[in-house]
Structure 1
Amino acid sequence: MSASLPSWPPTLTSLQREELHKSATTWALSHGLCYLPPSTSDRPSNSTSSPPVATIHAPISLIPTPFPRSLFHSAQSLQSVYNTLYSRVALDTEFLDRYMGCESEEGVGKVDSFTGKLWQGWKTVREEGGYERQSLHLGLFRSDYLLHTSPDQALSIKQVEFNTISSSFGPLSERIAALHRHLAASCSYYDISPLLNDDRFPENETTKGLVQGLASAHGAYGVPSARILFVVQSKERNMFDQKWLEYELLERHSIKVIRRSLDELATQACVDPNTYSLLVSNTDSPNSPPIEISTIYFRACYTPNDFPTLSHYETRFLLERSRAIKCPSLPLQLAGGKKIQEVLTRPGVLEQFLPDVGHDSLEQLRATFMGMYSLDLDETNDSSSFPKTRANHLNLVLKPQREGGGNNVYKEDIPAFLDSLSAVSSSSSPVSESKAWIAMEIIHTPPGIGGYLVRSPPPGSSQEEIEAGKGGAQAEIISELGIFGYSLFGLVEGKKTIKGEETVGWLVRTKGKESNEGGVATGFSVLDSLVLID
């Protein structure tokens, strides 16, 4: 049995909240727990070479959120199995072609243009022999969970999704955990709760662990003077989360990093026709030879917005053709699709990929799944009205093949969405449209847990608005736990091999209970940490 959760948050006076707010935001700004402000959108598109002129603290919680210690450790213990699972999925070409491709009846790439373009690019590269030039793949993963309550079962954890691309906020999650430790040490949280003590704050060394994964790939590439390429969005506000990885790579491993957007790479990157090395222009020293890349770390390319033209896709595929190790490769990115998450819940599929994993471990993994199905697999096969989904819509969320938050359809909004699918013209039938979506049962989070959520005042806020925000907003909350891991894997001497994998840290994102979506970068959540409950 897992621990029961306490009434939360402990009571703070207005003055205590204001003092915590001031201490927390000052510490955050002093320790790189930062964002670029929204005015970043006014910067030139070539922002990787434009220095930041201002910063704000990231959205944060004032106090950590209670979480059962046993369930936290369960999530950590499962990560190694998840690392192995998704590594093997990424190496199963037939499986990915069937469910993510454009040529299979079940393939979502047939109806989802973004998925289809990525799959088609992958198919072209493999037909050219691209994966014979570099057979290794790197995954920096994050498995996200919510606490789930049900009348007849103990509190449990259920997986929201598994992220295989741009699994962000590792370094900033480490810093929010350190912030909460600082507040406990500096003011003992005014003794508002005996639970707010150091023994209940789990260690968080996510930065070191993620960097170890990147350094492992760099080492496997075998050219010490090569650099790691961070592919970033041109107007990235979450730059500091990425910069901490860059600093750690240099200071701990003596590995240098360069940052480029797809727009920049379109003119600066090329693949050597003889060695297939990825070479990028040295813009800091134009007369110097180009920079060889060992590992490509994608913090972009997970949304259609990153590909405004077909030439952006061609640049992405150029990178895939090189012998640099990709994090993620196109097949690993496709493996993170919601369709794959759904297929993995079907009977016998886990056993297909994890034949060497014990029954108990498989059942623990399976216990984290919520019920899922494809919309085109509605029980009555009547996709023009989706009766099964309509009947159960208040207990469902519909998910497309997208990352980054803000894409799902929840509960009351589902019937109107299904109507819109049914109204699609005959040139694109509702049956085909529905293939791109999965239905997932809603995770029922524990009620009555609250917190104090602090966001930086938006530009142009009046003094009255700033004063009103002191102490943060008290709200009933939902907190999502993410467990990070990495895996370096591929075909070694013709055999599917995992060269190394580890569980490397954790993240908590907290939002007000009224919000369905959960992204920090998209403005729904704040960064948080845990107080473990026995």
Structure 2
Amino acid sequence: MARGIVMYPTPSNKREAAVVPMTLLPCPFADNYFQLAKKLTPDFHLLMDKITCDIGWLERALAKTGAIDEICSKLLEICRSVYNAETGKDRFFKALQHCKKYLPDQSGDVPGLPRSAAMEGMAEAIAMAHEAYSSRWEPLGLPRVVLFIVLEEEKNELDHRKLELAAFQQGICSLRRSLAQLSRTCELRPLVARKQVTVAYFRSGYWPQHFEGAWLCRQQLERSEAAKCPSAPAQLAGMKKVQQLLCDSAELSRFLSEEQAAAVSSTFAKQFDPSNTSVETREAVQAARKSPGDWVLKPQAKTSVKSSSHQTGSKTWEFTGTEFKLARSMQVEGSGELYFDDDIPRVLESRSEDQLAEFILMERVRPPCTPSAILHDGAVLVRRAVAELGIFGTFVADGDKVRCNKVVGHLLRSKGQQTNQGGVFVGNATVDVPFLVPSDIYWRNVTA
């Protein structure tokens, strides 16, 4: 309970909380990739911040996506309303982006087991944003709080509470409200329960059903002086279409120096818009038809038609918001299920060029496999597993002044080698801890 690794069977049944599946032994992980993940995180933060602040570029980049994805469309409308796209390169935000999840601290440093202080680091970033707001805006004579925007029916509540406690230890009180609850009281300068909101921290608002009857409230929050995590432009910056465009060196160089762009792009998987008619894209689409096992087809819209999904993952980086991951086994992402194997040529051949604009075609990445022992439902299971590493960092900016840009922790999840689905709190992956192994030893002993 104290570590936040239990989950309610239903939001109303808090008396029967169960421990999520967890590993009994740490997962071997190559130390060079772990260090690379930490080293590149600040550059990824700068990249996402610069994209977030270039509203005009986001509007052009996501024009097609907005036509098929409700959330993208609505967020673009909010950006047009709140920010002037003609001056989209100016800095609009008091504080931006910090990661949303954490791995509880280990007590002390253990050789090979890197310590993660993500939760404390995130609370520190929230405190910085809170301070930036307080120094800029005159007080209203009301208590100032951080607002956690959550689901009313939340099974994963305890995962949030640890961060609330860490923020409280920084001297900051928090409130929890759903978008539906806020829609009845939200004002341009948000006041909730007679308290002034300094930071709006979204733990919901990533699926269309989260916004039923609440889009006006979301726009009012964006218009308010409170720091948003994420802001509407920051959420748009995490769209798959943005990832695909950044694989173009000309687009990436808009936001990073030559040296930074080279370092960051060295971690990218190849991604294509299958509706594009360029020679390179046509060759990739043809290759995907002939050898679909080497590719993944990602729908961008959250209302896309579902299909069966299969395992993917390997040694390459993906990013969503400010969480940057060494992708090893993800196949269900924020936009829904992904297409693999024989489903890929079927989709490619059955859709028109306009319909194919819904998708991103990405080269498939293959995970190394390591032994794992897990505790699940009171039983111990030994299995071969693949793992996903996430590096958490914090980024806080006040206008052009970057107050904080650093790595604060990490998270490792693992799942069975043959498991198709992902996610700890849906029962497919397990909470894990990396055991760092020298690169030459690690790669000599893992299997693909």
Tell me which interval the TM-score lies in, with the shorter structure as reference length. Answer: 0.7 to 0.9
The 5 Å alignment of 1:15-54 reads 29=1, 31-40=2-11, 43=12, 52-54=14-16
Superposed CA deviations along residues 216-258 of structure 1, whole A, max 9, x for unmatched, are 110000159310000011221221121011001112x110000
Structure 1 gaps of 5+ residues are: 1-28, 44-50, 102-106, 142-166, 182-196, 272-276, 283-289, 423-429, 458-468
Equivalent residue, structure 2, for 1:349: 251
Deviation digits for residues 174-206 of structure 1 (CA, Å, limit 9, x no counterpart): 25x56xx8xxxxxxxxxxxxxxx9311111111
SS state at 1:414 partner: helix
- Whole-Å separation in 1 of the counterparts to 2:251 and 2:84: 27
Contact 1:229-1:258 at 8 Å conserved across structures = yes
Partner Cα distance (1:35, 1:130) in 2: 46
What fraction of aligned residue pairs are identical, expressed as a percent?
Answer: 28
Give TM-score, length-normalised by structure 1.
0.69
Name the TM-score, length of structure 2 as normaliser: 0.82
Give the drift of 1:314. 1.8
1:515-526 alignment to 2 at 5 Å?
515-526=419-430
Q: Determine whether 1:138 maps to 2:46.
A: no
Residue of 57, 67, 72 corresponding to 1:115 = 72
Q: 1:312 aligns with which of 214, 217, 225?
A: 214
Counterpart-to-counterpart distance in 2, 1:35 and 1:243: 12
Residue number among 389, 399, 402 corresponding to 2:288 in the alignment? 389
Q: Give the conservation status (yes or no) of the 8 Å contact 1:33–1:57.
A: no
In structure 1, C-alpha distance between the alignment counterparts of 2:218 and 2:15, rounded to whole Å: 30
Comparing 340-349 with 222-231, which one deviates more in the overlay?
222-231
For 1:515 and 1:388, how far apart are their aligned partners in 2?
A: 26
Shifted more, 521-530 versus 365-374: the winner is 521-530
Larger radius of gyration: 1
SS at match of 1:502: strand
Give the drift of 1:406: 4.7
Contact 1:118 1:330 in 2 (8 A): yes
How big is the shift at 1:351?
2.0
Find out whether 1:260 has 2:177 as its counterpart. yes
1:265, distance to aligned residue in structure 2 (A): 0.7
- Residues of 2 paired with 1:404 and 1:336: CA distance? 10
The one-letter code of the counterpart of 1:413 is: D
* Matched residue type, 2:374: L
Provide the C-alpha distance between the structure 2 equivalents of 1:528 and 1:99, rounded to a whole number of angstroms: 36
Aligned match for 1:244, one of 143, 162, 165 = 162
Q: Report the number of matched residues.
A: 399
C-alpha distance after superposition, 1:248-294 (max 9, x if no partner) = 1112x1100000011111113222xxxxx2111x2xxxxxxx11100
Shift of 1:497: 4.3
The 8 Å contact of residues 202 and 230 in structure 2, kept in 1 or not, is answered as: yes
Equivalent-residue separation in structure 1 for 2:337 and 2:426 (angstroms): 11
What letter corresponds to residue 16 of structure 2 in structure 1?
Answer: A
RMSD: 2.8
Q: Which residue of 2 aligns with 1:441?
A: 363
Q: Give CA-to-partner distance per residue, 1:443-497, whole Å, 9 cap, x none.
A: 11124x1212333x4xxxxxxxxxxx511x322211000001111236x3xxx44
Does residue 504 (structure 1) correspond to residue 408 (structure 2)? The answer is yes
* Partner in structure 2 of residue 431 of structure 1: 353
> What is the rounded CA distance, in whole Å, between the counterparts of 2:177 and 2:132 in structure 1?
23
Distance across 2 between alignment mates of 1:130 and 1:454: 54
1:417 corresponds to: 347
Larger deviation: 365-374 or 396-405? 396-405
CA contact (8 A) 1:130 1:320 kept: no
Distance 1:213 1:130, change over 3 A: farther
Aligned to 2:431: 527
The answer to whether 1:364 aligns with 2:263 is yes
**C-alpha distance in 1, partners of 2:165/2:153?**
20
Q: Is the 8 A contact 1:133 1:322 kept in 2?
A: no
| TM-aligned CA deviation for residue 297 of structure 1 | 0.3
Of residues 207, 212, 215 in structure 1, which corresponds to 2:119? 207
CA 1:412–1:451: 2 relative to 1, 3 Å: farther
